[in-house]
Structure 1
Amino acid sequence: MSGMDRKSQYKNRAKNVANIRQRHKAEELALRKDRKEKLLSSKRFRYVDGDELTDEISHDDVTKATKSLQKPGAHRLENLKTLRQAFSQGSAFIDTFFKVENALDTLVGIYTGKDSEQQLEAAWCITNISGGTAEHEMAICKHVAPYLITYLSSGVHQLQDQSAWALGNLAGDSAECREILQKQGVIPPLVQLLQSPHSSVVQSAAFALSNLAKESVEDCKEMVQASVIPNLLRHFSYSPENLDVLAEVSWVFTYLATSGLFLEEMSSNGVITKTVSLLVTLSDIMPHKAQVVTPLLRCLGNICSGPDQYTVEAKQNAELLPSLCKYMTSDLRHVRKETLWVLSNMTGDLGVCKEVAFGPILPHVLEQVPAAFDIKTEALYVLCNLACHGEDICTQLVNSGMLQCVTPALKSHDVEVLNLALTMCEMTLKMIPKAKEIFEKECEGITKLEALEYHNNDAIRTSANHILDMYYGEERNAADKKGKGKKTSK
């Protein structure tokens, strides 16, 4: 049979995989916004060393401290320290603060006043209020945000740091807050702060920029126009001292890459090359630094979900796939999962597929198929993308024990997993003659397909019946006839 005829056997199924893959990308990009919260909260209270370990302050203490603020004097400093510590212990204390008449106006007055020590403590209080509920944040956004933005250019790095952190909390709350901040001109001074010699200021500015960028293409566009990419690149390097800053910067790049609109700018500025270089460097540092590896893997995955030219650019570094192989063996399951997602996007490229299928990383992909649902799903996407690229790669998959790994997934209760597993099995049966016997005799595939013949999902039921009829119809008919010819004793 000619290569063209062979390809015609699986090309329709390959289109189906491409459709699944596109939907998967869209769903993943949406879900990752929620998943990020587990690793890196979009809103953060700020503690001083030991604050979170002290005895809990009472609501009466908060009320007394708030009322005492209304009277000028040196006592205000201790009142402010009590309040910012209380606010970091939960939003209920912030509610207590707001119950006192003119509480916020008094706090803003101190923040914009001339006593620098009290001003910094007031800024800290505002930062922690902005980490509270949506109602708390909106109050800060409407009444304090213009001052916060003004103080980004204050020249006092402690005040810049606190103000940027508070703005980051506001940006992490809602689209309404982000729109208010954007209209008030928050982006240019935040980008400018990336040039600060103080790492804490850079970290807070990048935190705010990442929360602005993650939901809004318009905000990303303004950032790019304000030269955020070259300013971020100043800090896009690894050292133990730079880990926190690098993590924040990596999140900004991750969200800039999400829409695909700024990939050309990222490429021309060397972001893609640098992202890969960092991942290569960090792959050898054990245990893996999830704080920074996670956003770097997501950034690369977003880049590779765009046109294949960017995947080709990424894999120009010969150490990329060996490094991804190291991440596939990480002790951290979410690092393995992120790595599979990167591979599922990279394997749209034939060159990558060949390196994965015939290289040392394939066994590690197969090892993830029996894992928990979310990792299993990512591994199946990688395998489907590999199989789509033809019989040579599919033969290698079969020879590597792919069917033995994938067929048990036909017992899954998840429709997406079943769909991927059925797709994988069907493409393999179409392309590889020996797969039929392996699937039947070594994997008990027919039994597993028969269990899906009456599945409550139409697509699963149809696909299972199609495979049974197409590849095992004769055997089943023969078995039925043989069964009917037997006489039973009475």
Structure 2
Amino acid sequence: MVDEIRQALRSQQSDEQRERRQKLVDDRRGASVSAKEFEPVAVEEFEAFLKDIKAQRNNKLYFRKMKNSLALGGDYISRFLRTNGALEQLLSITLRSTESSCQLEALSCLTNIACGDHKATYRVLRSAGPYLITFLNGTNPFLQEQAAWCLTNIAKDCDECRSLLRCHGASHAFIKALKSVYPQVVDMAVLAVQAYAQSPSHIIQDLVARDMLKQLLPLFDRDSAKPDFIGQLGWITFYAYSNASVQVEDMDCTARLCHTVANKMIHCSLASQENSVALSSLLACLATWSSRWCELAGELARMPGMVAALGRLLEAPYLHLRREALWLTHCLSGFLTQHNLADISAAISGIVPLLTPGADYINEVLQLLQGISTNLPAFRQSLAGSTAILAQLQQMTPEHVGECQKLHAILAQP
């Protein structure tokens, strides 16, 4: 079966090129397809629609309608799965169709089914898992991208699904896809790895052992990298270093990653609102490295632009970025004693919203402020001299006496 797939994959690219040439001819003739032909099937008619799946195996428009229907989830997916033989027929078309466009649309249908509940996702994994890995290991970028998308949906489901994917060879396939010359394959592979690397620890250890971290380095500096792509890379990196069970032995690679991420964070901080999706994971990575390795913390503290970036982020438009910037400031505070903290001191008022009485995170914020104030007397003086901070202290009611006492103790430190 696998040999059949490999043989089919070798002919896929020529098929796609033939299709593109035909499309150019059709466009010149003014050919068009009615939008109605792509509309989803009414849910009450969907099971009857599925009875034609075998007869329509070479009809791209049929599978396009199926894909659009399954994209609506819910009843469509459940009706599909309870239709006898539907999943088996769809898988057969995905593997053996002589029409590459039908093959791609059928694979898209599997992707949408895998986005359903756990039962639906698990059925796709059990039925199609090894074949999805084979497609991802292939040479057709269209099928690779779609297979990676389907694998992403599966990996997002649960630890059991992720562990089973590993047994099918997902780790090797994902690392290989990260090296692809096709940007769309790399983009989807990064999304898949982010979902796959969440847990359990043996999966991220397997990825690290396969030199995943080295493959991430050039991707951070890719010219076309958008904030969401950078954010995904950041979370993958964070999963590798924040898990105490994962051993990362290549400290040279770690140091290079640390400096690359720091430079990217400093650059992104110049437009924190537009780059918020990237900044959250970048800050988490830097804080994790700083708390684990003093040498890296010292190097980060000395980086040009680091203090200015922290100051900007303490006044970021999103409070979660302010908390994460405060976390990184805390991790670096022991190495900032000889630095000019004017940029951070000027942003003290940005901390005020983080001190909202009764907020879920206020005790965490107070703990961070305590540590920073202990290591940086200049910061504590700026904190104590801030009228906005003092006003916030006065607004704390008796029901928040514990929080009030902690903040007062921080401000009263000698």
| Same structural fold, with TM-score higher than 0.5 when normalized by the shorter chain | yes
2:73 to 90, 93, 102: 90
Show the counterpart of 1:179: 163
Question: Using the alignment, how far apart are the partners of 2:182 and 2:286 within structure 1?
Answer: 28
Show the counterpart of 1:151: 135
Residue 117 of structure 1: how far off its partner (Å) = 1.5
Question: Using the alignment, how far apart are the partners of 1:395 and 1:332 within structure 2?
Answer: 25
1:282 to 264, 268, 274: 268
Q: Contact (CA 8 Å) 1:258, 1:302: kept in 2 or not?
A: yes
5 Å matches for 1:321-400?
321-344=307-330, 346-347=331-332, 349-352=333-336, 355=339, 358-371=341-354, 372=356, 373=359, 376-377=362-363, 379-389=365-375, 394-400=380-386
- Which shows bigger deviation, 185-194 or 57-66? 57-66
Show the counterpart of 1:204: 188
Higher RCO, Cα 8 Å, sep 6+:
1
Question: Using the alignment, how far apart are the partners of 2:232 and 2:198 within structure 1?
Answer: 12
Residue 186 of structure 1: how far off its partner (Å) = 0.6
Show the counterpart of 1:135: 119
1:167 partner amino acid: L
Q: 1:202 to 1:183 in 2, by over 3 A?
A: same
Q: Contact (CA 8 Å) 2:269, 2:309: kept in 1 or not?
A: yes
Q: Contact (CA 8 Å) 2:141, 2:185: kept in 1 or not?
A: yes
Residue 319 of structure 1: how far off its partner (Å) = 0.8
2:253 partner amino acid: S
Show the counterpart of 2:292: 306
Percent identical: 20
Residue 298 of structure 1: how far off its partner (Å) = 2.4
Question: Using the alignment, how far apart are the partners of 1:310 and 1:262 within structure 2?
Answer: 17
Residue 215 of structure 1: how far off its partner (Å) = 1.8
Q: Contact (CA 8 Å) 2:138, 2:144: kept in 1 or not?
A: yes
- Count matched residues: 372
1:142 partner amino acid: R
Question: Using the alignment, how far apart are the partners of 2:228 and 2:185 within structure 1?
Answer: 11
Q: Contact (CA 8 Å) 1:137, 1:173: kept in 2 or not?
A: yes
Question: Using the alignment, how far apart are the partners of 1:326 and 1:427 within structure 2?
Answer: 23
The two structures have a TM-score, normalised by structure 2, of: 0.80
Residue 419 of structure 1: how far off its partner (Å) = 4.8
Q: 1:383 to 1:427 in 2, by over 3 A?
A: closer
Secondary structure at the counterpart of residue 170 of structure 1: helix
2:61 partner amino acid: E
Superposed CA offset, 1:151-172 (max 9, x none): 1111111111111111111111
Question: Using the alignment, how far apart are the partners of 2:398 and 2:137 within structure 1?
Answer: 56
The two structures have a TM-score, normalised by structure 1, of: 0.68
2:281 partner amino acid: P
Residue 279 of structure 1: how far off its partner (Å) = 1.0
Question: Using the alignment, how far apart are the partners of 2:293 and 2:403 within structure 1?
Answer: 23
Question: Using the alignment, how far apart are the partners of 2:169 and 2:44 within structure 1?
Answer: 39
Superposed CA offset, 1:273-314 (max 9, x none): 000000111222464322322222222233233233332232
Q: Contact (CA 8 Å) 1:167, 1:208: kept in 2 or not?
A: yes
Superposed CA offset, 1:23-79 (max 9, x none): xxxxxxxxxxxxxxxxxxxxxxxxxxxx9xx8664213432332211325433x222
Question: Using the alignment, how far apart are the partners of 2:181 and 2:404 within structure 1?
Answer: 53
Question: Using the alignment, how far apart are the partners of 2:288 and 2:145 within structure 1?
Answer: 30
5 Å matches for 1:12-411?
57-75=41-59, 77-115=60-98, 116-237=100-221, 239-240=223-224, 242-259=226-243, 261=246, 265=250, 268-269=253-254, 270-285=256-271, 287-344=273-330, 346-347=331-332, 349-352=333-336, 355=339, 358-371=341-354, 372=356, 373=359, 376-377=362-363, 379-389=365-375, 394-401=380-387, 404=390, 407-408=393-394, 410-411=396-397
Uncovered stretches (5+) of structure 1, i.e. residues with no partner: 1-50, 433-490
